[in-house]
């Protein structure tokens, strides 16, 4: 079956004994135990498992081509579960421009618990290789990166890591499996903030880890999901499954609109540079073309002006909402450095735009008046 078909049908057979076309939301926190005694396979308490969570986990694992998935109450809870599955003293390599919340979690929490980390530019596999030490256990990729749009070669890094028994993870929140399938390129784990394109309507907070293999490391992640307890509600899982059915078509719209916006921004007198992997001039374009089917709906651009001018431009929008986060049907933008805070490597004159599903000419009209 093709992606679009799987997105609509996968997961409906699981935890759905009534064979509803749209499965019901199961609010019950408890499930009756068999008279003959407790069977580990059965559901008994919602923190450990719930029909709606099983459905969404099956769906996202299927779409990423993984063996299993664990859903969390946020993307950052999913990221924390991976890091907590490592041992104190383990070392990770992670992008210097990784999503700022994940950077703060590593430096503010995990380093205190003994995790060692190197934040580096991950555009050249040789630089990554040079940072590997005997205790390196995980290489974390975010490609395209947030918000510098740097590209990492997933296949090259995964191959290098595999030969050294190092795990690889790709934060696939921005491209989504519609545009990029990291497990096909050899990665072990995929991370999602499902608050973004999977939810797609800026009304759900969630996260997920998809694993290529249901191995011992994934069992650790599952244990943290169940015993850490940062699980999504049945209603959120239901909403996510519902939104996922249209993911392929929404991403097609985001891809197409972003291309149009980029073509308009590129060369504008107030724009010094546009960061978008679909541009032939982007330094990572050839690798992006190899590992991506579309370039997504996120665009970063550098204002030909200072920080104050960049903030002023964002303040002038009428249609594009001034908001953080991304991946909704509505276009949003922000002066990114202001929201990243301490430790940010983002230029002071960078604006990050999440191109939505409004008519692209209306988005461009708003950009035109804001940049005038
Ligand atoms: N990964 C990326 C690439 C993100 O952009 C975000 C949030 O902005 C996260 C992870 C964290 O997800 P959440 O906000 O759902 O915790």
- Is 171 annotated in the active site? yes
Among 90, 97, 171, 188, which one carries the catalytic annotation?
171
Beta strand spans in 194-288 (E): 207-211, 271-275
Alpha carbon distance 183, 171 (integer Å): 11
- What is the structure's pLDDT at 140? 98
Output the ligand 1 site: residues, CB below 6 A.
74-76, 99, 101, 142, 146, 171, 173-174, 193, 195, 205, 207, 325
Q: What is the mean pLDDT of residues 257-269?
A: 97
CATH of domain 3-244: 3.40.640.10
What mean pLDDT is reported for the chain?
Answer: 96
Per-residue pLDDT tens digits for 148-168: 999 999 999 999 999 999 999
Per-residue pLDDT tens digits for 48-100: 999 999 999 999 999 999 999 999 999 999 999 999 999 999 999 999 999 99
Among 58, 90, 99, 153, which one carries the catalytic annotation?
99
Fold of 248-371: 3.90.1150
Among 6, 47, 162, 220, which one carries the catalytic annotation?
47
Start-to-end CA distance of the chain, whole Å, equals 48
Task: Write out the residue limits of the CATH 3.40.640.10 domain(s) in the chain.
Answer: 3-244
Q: How far is the centre of ligand 1, averaged over its atoms, from the C-alpha of 339 (Å)?
A: 13
Q: How far is the centre of ligand 1, averaged over its atoms, from the C-alpha of 76 (Å)?
A: 6
Going by C-alpha positions, the residue among 40, 47, 149, 45 that lies closest to residue 99 is: 149
Alpha carbon distance 218, 215 (integer Å): 5
Atom of ligand 1 nearest to the CA of 173: 3
- What is the structure's pLDDT at 83? 98
Task: Write out the residue limits of the CATH 3.90.1150.10 domain(s) in the chain.
Answer: 248-371
- Is 47 annotated in the active site? yes
Determine contact, residues 74/83, Cβ cutoff 8 Å.
no
pTM for this entry: 0.97
Q: What is the mean pLDDT of residues 11-20?
A: 83
Give 168 or 343, the one with higher predicted confidence: 168
């Amino acid at each position: 079956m093709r992606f679009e078909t799987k997105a609509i049908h996968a997961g409906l057979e699981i935890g759905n004994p009534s064979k509803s076309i749209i499965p019901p939301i199961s609010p019950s926190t408890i499930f009756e135990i068999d008279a003959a005694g407790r069977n580990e396979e059965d559901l008994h308490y919602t923190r450990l498992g719930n029909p709606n969570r099983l459905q969404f986990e099956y769906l996202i694992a299927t779409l990423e081509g993984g063996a299993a998935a664990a859903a969390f109450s946020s993307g950052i809870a999913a990221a924390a579960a991976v890091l907590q599955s490592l041992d104190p003293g383990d070392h990770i390599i992670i992008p210097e421009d990784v999503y700022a919340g994940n950077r703060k979690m590593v430096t503010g929490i995990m380093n205190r618990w003994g995790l060692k980390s190197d934040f580096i530019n991950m555009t050249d596999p040789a630089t990554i290789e040079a940072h590997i030490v005997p205790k390196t256990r995980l290489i974390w990729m975010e490609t395209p990166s947030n918000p510098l749009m740097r590209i990492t070669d997933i296949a090259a890094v995964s191959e290098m890591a595999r030969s050294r028994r190092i795990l690889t993870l790709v934060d696939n929140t921005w491209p989504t499996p519609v545009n990029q399938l990291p497990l096909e390129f050899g990665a072990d784990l995929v991370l999602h903030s499902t608050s973004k394109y999977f939810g797609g309507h800026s009304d759900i907070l969630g996260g997920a880890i998809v694993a290529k293999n249901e191995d011992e490391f994934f069992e650790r992640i599952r244990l943290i999901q169940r015993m850490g307890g940062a699980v999504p509600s049945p209603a959120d899982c239901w909403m996510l499954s519902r939104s996922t059915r249209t993911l392929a078509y929404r991403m097609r719209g985001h891809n197409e609109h972003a291309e149009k916006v980029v073509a308009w921004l590129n060369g504008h007198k107030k724009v010094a540079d546009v960061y978008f992997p679909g541009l032939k001039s982007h330094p990572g374009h050839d690798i992006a073309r190899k590992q991506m089917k579309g370039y997504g709906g996120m665009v970063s651009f550098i204002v030909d002006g200072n920080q104050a001018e960049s903030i002023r431009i964002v303040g002038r929008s009428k249609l594009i909402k001034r908001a953080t986060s991304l991946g909704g049907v509505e276009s949003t933008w922000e002066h990114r450095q202001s929201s990243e805070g301490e430790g940010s490597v983002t230029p002071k004159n960078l604006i990050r735009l999440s191109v939505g599903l409004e008519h692209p000419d209306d988005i461009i009209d708003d950009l035109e008046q804001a940049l005038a």
